[in-house]
Amino acid sequence: MHLNHEKSEALFERAKAVIPGGVNSPVRAFKSVGINPIFIERGEGPYIYDVDGNRYIDLICSWGPLILGHSHPALLDGIEKIFQKGTSYGVPSHLEVTMAEMIAEAYPAAERVRMVNSGTEATMSAIRVARGYTGRQKILKFEGCYHGHSDALLVKSGSGTLTYGVPTSPGVPADTVKDTLVGIYNDVEMLESLFAAQGSEIACAIVEVVAGNMGVVPATEAFMAALRRLSTAYGVVLIFDEVITGFRLAYGGASEIYRIDPDMVCFGKIIGGGLPVGAYAGKSDIMAMVSPVGPVYQAGTLSGNPLAMHMGIQTLQYLKAHPELYLQLEEKASYLASEMAAFIETNELPVTFTRFHSMPCLFFAKGPFKCYDDVKNCDTEAYATYFRKMLDKGVLLPPAQFEGLFLSISHDDSVLETYLNASKSTLLEMYK
Ligand code: PMP
């Protein structure tokens, strides 16, 4: 490494003594890219600055929330006033109503909305509600999709094509995941036979419509159509996990792009504008199960927190008032994809640049990528080398292969050019 990371290194040493692995979320340890993490001092627009004063183009963007970039004026507007009025009440505030109305307006499936504090809480709660609503135990998820770290969802597939889950992590009781079925993403035949055999025992199917946790892998229209059709036929609650895609792919998210309404939908990230937030929502008869209307318990001391609501509302209002931003994000991703694809082809490089709408990803393998099996053989060592070289050139990428790049509206042409130049020269250094 050429950049000086002295202060980051010192902080990491201190951090390790008091925080497990020195970080509050595992991917931040940079373990799979073989270096120690950088510690951040501040962010501004498309840039992030570490404590040693190095500036990087930020392509993590807090893993999705920062669709407007760091410290966008629209977000800061009014935040002090909110602060002065108190930071949490524990009884309702008008901001929660506005937020729920905005989500309900954008997502037809979101007839009732409940705020929580993270994406994990959103999916965990949605599943509880779906189980309560159907009176069924089994849930269906798909291999390679991530829905947060609640026990029932922290599951990998066993062997075979369609399998019962086995815990991904010690500490998750096998009993907790025995009712979690793990299906293969984009496999319509598997869906048909699974629903025929067990459809009437399944409470819900949860899916990332565009998977953003195995690189970027979109569901095919045929897969989503089959999932919607079969869920309806068997009385299975279809849950879209739009924690990443919500308000990112379009204002109406993946639901809008695929023109499919789920029965429930989960949010996080963008709807908090960078503050801790999540939400789950659904058709009114399903959401009528939620306490205090119904018997399914779910609660939260800080749920609907005024600061988080303010940041979320400001973000959504800005996006709503500027629909052209989605087109611009799409154009940015499309430009990156066409430039990179041409470069990769000309130089016969063993990598694939993909994108779905504004979600791009560079796989260190040759596609196509339709499911977890297709992506799992990517050359993660090569990705680690690429990551380190890019960091040295002032570009902060997700420190793991199986993540997409997160663009914001602040990534302007010059930022994109810098990324492209750095990326191309790095790939040439690695393969030529
Ligand atoms: N669902 C998806 C699709 C996610 O990408 C994530 C986190 N990246 C989650 C759920 C969990 O959200 P959180 O980290 O806020 O708990």
For the CA of 148, the nearest atom of ligand 1: 11
ipTM for this prediction:
0.99
Burial class (CB in 10 A: 0-12, 13-18, 19+), 276: middle
Identify whether 146 is a catalytic site residue. yes
Instruction: Give yes or no for residue 270 CB within 6 A of ligand 1.
Output: no
Digit-by-digit pLDDT tens for the chain (432 residues) are 689 999 999 999 999 999 999 999 999 999 999 999 999 999 999 999 999 999 999 999 999 999 999 999 998 888 899 999 999 999 999 999 999 999 999 999 999 999 999 999 999 999 999 999 999 999 999 999 999 999 999 987 655 445 566 788 889 888 889 999 999 999 999 999 999 999 999 999 999 999 999 999 999 999 999 999 999 999 999 999 999 999 999 999 999 999 999 999 999 999 999 999 999 999 999 999 999 999 999 999 999 999 999 999 999 999 999 999 999 999 999 999 999 999 999 999 999 999 999 999 999 999 999 999 999 999 999 999 999 999 999 999 999 999 999 999 999 999 999 999 999 999 999 998
Domains and CATH numbers, the chain: 6-59+329-341+354-362+380-431 (3.90.1150.10), 76-321 (3.40.640.10)
Helix axes 188-198, 221-234, angle to 10 degrees: 10
Q: Which residue has the tokens 């989503």?
A: 224
Catalytic residue (one of 138, 141, 269, 389): 269
- Please indicate whether residue 118, judged by its CB atom, sits closer than 6 Å to ligand 1: yes
16 is catalytic: no
**Other beta carbons less than 10 A from residue 136's beta carbon:** 20
Catalytic residue among 50, 241, 263, 374: 241
Question: 300 near 291, Cβ under 8 Å?
Answer: no
CB 63 less than 6 A from any atom of ligand 1: yes
Residue 425 token pair: 């020269």
* 241 in active site: yes
Residue nearest to atom 10 of ligand 1 (CA): 147
Rounded Cα distance, 367 and 215, in Å: 12
- Number of separate helices (H) and strands (E) present in the chain: 15, 17
Pocket test for ligand 1, best of 127, 141, 147 (most atoms within 8 A of CB): 147
